[in-house]
Amino acid sequence: MDRCESPGVSGAPRLAEMIGEAERVVVFTGAGMSTESGVPDFRSPGGVWSRMKPIYFQDFVASEDRRREAWTRTFSGAAGWVGAKPNAGHDAVARLVASGKATLVITQNVDNLHQDSGVPAERIVELHGAASYAKCLECGLRHELADLKAPFLERGEIPACRACGGLVKTATISFGQPMPAAEMARAEAACLTCDLFLVLGSSLVVYPAAGLPLLAKSHGARLVIVNRDPTDQDPFADLVLHEEIGAVMQAVAALTSPGGRGRDAPTGASG
């Protein structure tokens, strides 16, 4: 395994070489992907859960007070992703997808930044849902947040489905809520056919999503982890870079673009 823990982007040439050698890259992103856009992660000191406790799915369903609290958080922007813009890492991933090298982006994030960076929605699997809209828990009808905001803020109306009257919740997957079966199946299928699985900014502690890198590895894919801090899966990876994602991926994009070094990147440059 190659490992690089020094500051800078010394591991970028090796990663660029591995991408150049791959035919089907799957990108897997976690909270660290978006922290460079100013979006706080959930578990670090100062993160979202250190400022407010999560509202479990069963509590949302059972308690009007918890539903009111959840919607207050949504419309106050308390989670911190409102107004965030894609960073250099998002842009580099979008370029990988546009080039045809990356076949799918699997994300644990709910901030819509991959879509905002230009990745087509059909190339994204959102394992933990999305914060940009809401869904009825009964019939699944989509509701736009803009349509729910004024009745809640002006009249205190907790959103209910306009079609069936069921409970409406942001389309994020809360603690205790079942994972979306179709999205998990699609992600697992991609793991079976990719030849490079690239983890960007995930601590790899939230399962079942965190099981995907090892699933890909067990089916022959090379595994690369780029994350600020060590993860439990580092020992299984073919390349580990403890560097800033935006700088690494921007350098990789330059190396793998027409005119870049790509396959000719020096293999001993991983630090």
Catalytic residue annotation = 128
Work out the burial of residue 23: count CB atoms within 10 Å of its CB; fewer than 13 is exposed, 13-18 middle, 19 or more buried: exposed
**Could you tell me the end-to-end alpha-carbon distance of the chain, in angstroms, rounded to an integer?**
12
* Residue 125 and residue 104 in contact, taking contact as beta carbons nearer than 8 Å: yes
Q: How far is CA 105 from the centre of its chain?
A: 8
* Residue 248 and residue 9 in contact, taking contact as beta carbons nearer than 8 Å: yes
DSSP assignment string, 90-134? HHHHHHHHHHTSEEEEEES--S-HHHHTT--GGGEEETTEEEEEE
